[in-house]
Amino acid sequence: MPTKISPKAKPIYKRILLKLSGEVLGSDTESINSEFTRKIAKSVAEIHELGVQIAVVIGGGNIWRGATASHAGMDRTTADYMGMLATIINGMALQDALEKMGVYTRVQTAIEIKNVAEPFIRRRAVRHLQKKRVVIFVAGTGNPYFSTDTAAALRASEMNAEVILKATKVDGVYDSDPRKNPKAKRYEKLTFIDALKNRLKVMDSTAFSLCMDNNVPIIVFDMFKPGNLKSVVLGKKVGTLVCSKI
């Protein structure tokens, strides 16, 4: 059941960065599932209506995984650039779904592709947020060997986002895989140091380190539970908070 929310509840964040994996848009049979994409867009539109400034970083794993291709023998740099192109496709799909709901958006890319998206320019991105546009960052950092998690940490720092909301298919961070271990423990709060020390595979170590250095907290939550994104933005206890101090 969706979490009950008071109609008088106000968001506790003014500006957020939402990190979406490419997998949230895909299904077992489609790289981009239109129904799933609409559901994600609807959740984003709901918090946009609350006046929250929203930046999004999206992955491309539903279409292409550079690391997997690299392990199979492809040149890592080539594989990573192909992954960046996959994120651009996903960003355009999310943009289309949001604009069909009346939400103005801009897609900004870290690699130049001027007929499709704006180049990433920090001041322009901030201005878009101030004008109540959802800004979708694609192509990661524009560099191979860096994940979209690291891109999320970087863009959140550049945008002065108050928090990174890491959308997943599980309801937080566990000490082991809850799909394999029914006794896995879920953390309500966790420090960056503990996440790094225990090698918890929620975000990569570069992303965790960047967030720790710039004091950007992360909330890991289940995007597929109805109302969860809105609940997080309104300050409800959802998922796992990863921060500098508990």
Distance CA 233, CA 54 (A): 11
Question: pTM of the full predicted structure?
Answer: 0.92
**Using alpha carbons only, what angle is made at residue 157 by residues 171 and 55, rounded to the nearest 5 degrees?**
60
Q: Identify the residue with better confidence: 185 or 52.
A: 52
Q: What is the mean pLDDT of residues 147-176?
A: 95
Alpha helix (H) ranges present in the chain?
A: 34-48, 66-71, 76-99, 122-130, 148-158, 192-197, 205-214, 228-233
Distance (Å, whole) CA 30 – CA 14: 35
Per residue in 69-106, pLDDT (tens digit) is 777 889 999 999 999 999 999 999 999 999 999 999 99
Question: 232 in helix, strand or coil?
Answer: helix
Q: What is the mean pLDDT of residues 9-13?
A: 93
Which domains occur in the chain, in start order? 15-243 (3.40.1160.10)
Specify the pLDDT at position 57: 98
CA distance 196 to 118: 34
As a whole number, mean pLDDT of residues 49-73 equals 90
Q: Which two tokens stand for residue 9?
A: 């509840």
| pLDDT for 5 beyond 80 | no
